[in-house]
Amino acid sequence: MSATPTMEFDVKDLALAPEGKKRIEWAEREMPVLRLIRQKFATDKPFESLRIVACAHVTTETANLVRTLQAGGAQTILIASNPLSTQDDVAASLVQDWHVPVFAIKGESTDVYNRHVRMALDSEPEIIIDDGSDVVATLIKERETLAKKIIGTTEETTTGIVRLKAMERDGVLSFPAMAVNNAQTKHFFDNRYGTGQSTLDGIIRATNVLLAGRTIVVVGYGWCGKGVAMRARGMGANVVVTEINPIKAVEAVMDGFRVMPIVDAASIGDIFVTVTGSRHVIDRQHFKLMKDGAIVCNSGHFDIELNLVGLRELSHPSVSVRPFVEEYKMRESGHRVIVLGEGRLINLAAAEGHPASVMDMSFANQALSVEYLINNRGRLHPGVHQLPDEVDLEIAGLKLQALGIRFDSLTAEQVEYLSSWETGT
- The yes or no reply on residue 354 touching ligand ADE (CB under 6 A) is yes
Which of 85, 307 has the CB closer to ligand ADE?
Answer: 85
Stretch that binds ligand ADE, among 55-63, 300-308, 311-319, 324-332 (CB under 6 A): 55-63
Element housing 79 (H / E): strand 75-80
Residue 350 has, within 13 A of its CA and on its CB side, a CA count of: 28
Q: Is the dihedral of CA 86, 90, 95, 98 positive or negative?
A: negative
DSSP 181: G
- The yes or no reply on residue 91 touching ligand ADE (CB under 6 A) is no
- Contact in structure between 340 and 318 (CB atoms under 8 Å): no
Q: Is the dihedral of CA 417, 422, 423, 425 positive or negative?
A: positive
Nearest distance from C-beta of residue 57 to ligand ADE, angstroms: 4
Nearest distance from C-beta of residue 250 to ligand ADE, angstroms: 28
Burial of 13 (0-12, 13-18, 19+ CB in 10 A): exposed
- The yes or no reply on residue 353 touching ligand ADE (CB under 6 A) is yes
DSSP 415: H
Q: Which residues contact 172 (CB under 8 A, 6 or more apart)?
A: 140
- The yes or no reply on residue 364 touching ligand ADE (CB under 6 A) is no
- The yes or no reply on residue 366 touching ligand ADE (CB under 6 A) is no
Residue nearest to ligand ADE (CB): 353
Residue 8 CA to residue 23 CA, distance in Å, equals 24
Nearest distance from C-beta of residue 85 to ligand ADE, angstroms: 7
Cα–Cα nearest to 286, from 274, 275, 276: 274
- The yes or no reply on residue 62 touching ligand ADE (CB under 6 A) is yes
- The yes or no reply on residue 275 touching ligand ADE (CB under 6 A) is no
| Options 28, 30, 61, 130; binder of ligand ADE; rule CB under 6 A | 61
Beta-bridge partner residues of 298? 274, 345
Helix (H, G, I), strand (E, B) or coil at 158: helix
- The yes or no reply on residue 56 touching ligand ADE (CB under 6 A) is yes
- Contact in structure between 259 and 249 (CB atoms under 8 Å): yes
- The yes or no reply on residue 368 touching ligand ADE (CB under 6 A) is no
Stretch that binds ligand ADE, among 162-170, 266-274, 318-326, 351-359 (CB under 6 A): 351-359
Stretch that binds ligand ADE, among 238-246, 269-277, 308-316, 347-355 (CB under 6 A): 347-355
Nearest distance from C-beta of residue 104 to ligand ADE, angstroms: 12
Query: Which residues contribute to the site for ligand ADE (CB under 6 A)?
Result: 56-57, 59, 61-62, 194, 348, 353-354, 359
